[in-house]
Amino acid sequence: MPAAASDQQTQLLHEYIASCSNWGRWGTDDEVGALNLVGPAEVMRAAGLVKKGTPISLTLPYDQAGPQPGGFRNNPQLLLTATGTDHVGGAQDPLPGGFGPSRGFGFSDDVLVMPTQSGTQWDSLSHIFWEGRMFNGRPADQVNSRGAAANGIENYTGRIVMPGVLIDMPAHRGVDALEPGDAIEAAEIAEFLADHDLTVQPGDALLVRTGFMAARRGNWGDYAGGAAPGLSLHLAPWLHSHDIAAVATDTWGVEVRPNQIDYFQPLHIVSLVHGGIAFGEMFDLDALAADCAQDGVYTFMFVASPLPITGASGAPVSALAIK
Amino acid sequence: MPAAASDQQTQLLHEYIASCSNWGRWGTDDEVGALNLVGPAEVMRAAGLVKKGTPISLTLPYDQAGPQPGGFRNNPQLLLTATGTDHVGGAQDPLPGGFGPSRGFGFSDDVLVMPTQSGTQWDSLSHIFWEGRMFNGRPADQVNSRGAAANGIENYTGRIVMPGVLIDMPAHRGVDALEPGDAIEAAEIAEFLADHDLTVQPGDALLVRTGFMAARRGNWGDYAGGAAPGLSLHLAPWLHSHDIAAVATDTWGVEVRPNQIDYFQPLHIVSLVHGGIAFGEMFDLDALAADCAQDGVYTFMFVASPLPITGASGAPVSALAIK
Amino acid sequence: MPAAASDQQTQLLHEYIASCSNWGRWGTDDEVGALNLVGPAEVMRAAGLVKKGTPISLTLPYDQAGPQPGGFRNNPQLLLTATGTDHVGGAQDPLPGGFGPSRGFGFSDDVLVMPTQSGTQWDSLSHIFWEGRMFNGRPADQVNSRGAAANGIENYTGRIVMPGVLIDMPAHRGVDALEPGDAIEAAEIAEFLADHDLTVQPGDALLVRTGFMAARRGNWGDYAGGAAPGLSLHLAPWLHSHDIAAVATDTWGVEVRPNQIDYFQPLHIVSLVHGGIAFGEMFDLDALAADCAQDGVYTFMFVASPLPITGASGAPVSALAIK
Amino acid sequence: MPAAASDQQTQLLHEYIASCSNWGRWGTDDEVGALNLVGPAEVMRAAGLVKKGTPISLTLPYDQAGPQPGGFRNNPQLLLTATGTDHVGGAQDPLPGGFGPSRGFGFSDDVLVMPTQSGTQWDSLSHIFWEGRMFNGRPADQVNSRGAAANGIENYTGRIVMPGVLIDMPAHRGVDALEPGDAIEAAEIAEFLADHDLTVQPGDALLVRTGFMAARRGNWGDYAGGAAPGLSLHLAPWLHSHDIAAVATDTWGVEVRPNQIDYFQPLHIVSLVHGGIAFGEMFDLDALAADCAQDGVYTFMFVASPLPITGASGAPVSALAIK
pLDDT band at C1 (very low <50, low <70, confident <90, very high): low
Q: How far apart are the CA of C222 and the nearest CA of chain B, in angstroms?
A: 15
Per-residue model confidence as pLDDT tens digits over A184-216: 999 999 999 999 999 999 999 999 999 999 999
Q: Where in chain C is the domain with CATH 3.50.30.50?
A: 3-70+115-322
The span from the CA of B193 to the CA of C220, in Å, is 50
Mutate to test the interface with C, among A64, A72, A74, A79 (most CBs of C within 10 A): A79
Relative to beta strand D109-115, strand D77-82 is antiparallel
- Residue in B108, B130, B314 nearest the CB of A126: B108
Residues of chain B with Cβ-Cβ distance to A80 below 8 Å are 143-147, 313
* Cβ–Cβ under 8 Å, residues B84 and A144: yes
Residues of chain D with Cβ-Cβ distance to C114 below 8 Å are 111-112
pLDDT of residue B1: 67
The span from the CA of A211 to the CA of D286, in Å, is 49
Amino acid at A58: L
- Residue in B74, B89, B146 nearest the CB of C144: B89
Query: Which residues in chain B come in under a pLDDT of 70?
Result: 1
Q: Which of residues 208-247 of B touch A (CB under 8 A)?
A: 225
Amino acid at C58: L
- Annotate C8-33 with DSSP letters as a single string: HHHHHHHHHHHHH--TTTT-TT--SG
Please check the confidence at residue A3 and state whether its pLDDT lies above 90: no
Per-residue model confidence as pLDDT tens digits over D238-272: 999 999 999 999 999 999 999 999 999 999 999 99
Q: Which residues contact C42 (CB under 8 A, 6 or more apart)?
A: C162, C163, C201, C202, C203, C204, D53
pLDDT band at C95 (very low <50, low <70, confident <90, very high): very high
Check CB contact under 8 Å for C81 and B145: yes
Q: How far apart are the CA of C281 and the nearest CA of chain D, in angstroms?
A: 14
Check CB contact under 8 Å for C39 and D53: yes
Percent above pLDDT 70 for chain C: 100
Check CB contact under 8 Å for D128 and C107: yes
Check CB contact under 8 Å for D111 and B83: no
* Cβ–Cβ under 8 Å, residues B256 and B232: yes
CA dihedral B18, B22, B28, B31 (to 10 degrees): -130
pLDDT of residue A70: 85
Check CB contact under 8 Å for B76 and A309: yes
pLDDT of residue A257: 98
Helices (H) and strands (E) in chain D, counts: 9, 17
Per-residue model confidence as pLDDT tens digits over D140-182: 999 999 999 999 999 999 999 999 999 999 999 999 999 999 9
Nearest CA in chain D to B81: D79
- Residue in C91, C144, C145 nearest the CB of B144: C91
Residues of chain C with Cβ-Cβ distance to D305 below 8 Å are 55, 57, 318, 320
Please check the confidence at residue D2 and state whether its pLDDT lies above 90: no
* Cβ–Cβ under 8 Å, residues B178 and B210: yes
A293 closest CA partner among A205, A166, A185, A202: A166
Residues of chain D with Cβ-Cβ distance to B63 below 8 Å are none
Over residues C243-261, the mean pLDDT reads 98
Residues of chain C with Cβ-Cβ distance to D154 below 8 Å are 61
A11 touching chain B per CB within 8 A: no
Q: How far apart are the CA of A191 and the nearest CA of chain B, in angstroms?
A: 31
Over residues C16-29, the mean pLDDT reads 98
- Residue in C59, C62, C88 nearest the CB of D141: C88
Neighbouring CB atoms inside 10 A of D190's CB total 13
- Residue in C72, C107, C269 nearest the CB of D129: C107
pLDDT of residue C186: 98
Please check the confidence at residue D1 and state whether its pLDDT lies above 70: no
Relative to beta strand A55-57, strand A320-322 is antiparallel
Please check the confidence at residue A1 and state whether its pLDDT lies above 90: no
- Annotate C118-166 with DSSP letters as a single string: SSSEEEPTTSEEETTB-GGG-BGGGEETTEESSS-GGGGTTT-EEEEEE
Q: How far apart are the CA of D70 and the nearest CA of chain C, in angstroms?
A: 12
pLDDT of residue B71: 80
Check CB contact under 8 Å for B81 and C146: yes
Check CB contact under 8 Å for A308 and B225: no
The span from the CA of C315 to the CA of C307, in Å, is 6
Check CB contact under 8 Å for C145 and B89: no
Residues of chain C with Cβ-Cβ distance to D87 below 8 Å are 129, 132, 140
The span from the CA of A118 to the CA of A122, in Å, is 11
Q: Which of residues 82-111 of D touch B (CB under 8 A)?
A: 83, 85-86, 88-89, 91, 111
Helix, strand, or coil (residue B53)? coil
Relative to beta strand C299-303, strand D278-281 is unpaired
Per-residue model confidence as pLDDT tens digits over D173-208: 999 999 999 999 999 999 999 999 999 999 999 999
- Residue in B79, B86, B91 nearest the CB of D79: B79
Per-residue model confidence as pLDDT tens digits over D45-78: 999 999 999 999 999 999 999 999 987 899 999 9
Q: What is the mean pLDDT of chain A?
A: 97
A&B contacts, CB < 8 Å: 336
Regarding pTM above 0.90, the answer is yes
pLDDT of residue B97: 87
Mutate to test the interface with D, among C108, C111, C143, C281 (most CBs of D within 10 A): C108
pLDDT band at C97 (very low <50, low <70, confident <90, very high): confident
Identify the chains in contact with D, defined as 3+ C-beta pairs within 8 A.
A, B, C
Per-residue model confidence as pLDDT tens digits over C295-306: 999 999 999 999
pLDDT band at A149 (very low <50, low <70, confident <90, very high): very high
Please check the confidence at residue A2 and state whether its pLDDT lies above 80: no
Q: What is the mean pLDDT of chain C?
A: 97
Mutate to test the interface with A, among C72, C77, C80 (most CBs of A within 10 A): C80
Percent above pLDDT 90 for chain C: 97
Q: How far apart are the CA of C65 and the nearest CA of chain B, in angstroms?
A: 9
Question: Residue B107's beta-bridge partner residues?
Answer: A128
Check CB contact under 8 Å for D89 and A144: yes
Q: Which CATH architecture has domain B3-70+115-322?
A: 3-Layer(bba) Sandwich (3.50)
Nearest CA in chain B to D92: B85
> To 5 degrees, how large is the angle CA C84–CA C86–CA C87?
60
* Cβ–Cβ under 8 Å, residues A131 and B104: yes
pLDDT of residue A4: 81
Q: Which of residues 183-202 of D touch C (CB under 8 A)?
A: none
Nearest CA in chain C to A144: C145
Distances (CA, A) of D145 to A294, C84, D123, D167, D245: 47, 9, 18, 38, 29
Residues of chain A with Cβ-Cβ distance to B122 below 8 Å are none
A63 closest CA partner among A55, A74, A52, A71: A74
- Annotate B75-94 with DSSP letters as a single string: PPEEEEEE-HHHHHTTTTSS
pLDDT band at D97 (very low <50, low <70, confident <90, very high): confident
Residues of chain C with Cβ-Cβ distance to B75 below 8 Å are 70
Residues of chain A with Cβ-Cβ distance to D90 below 8 Å are 141
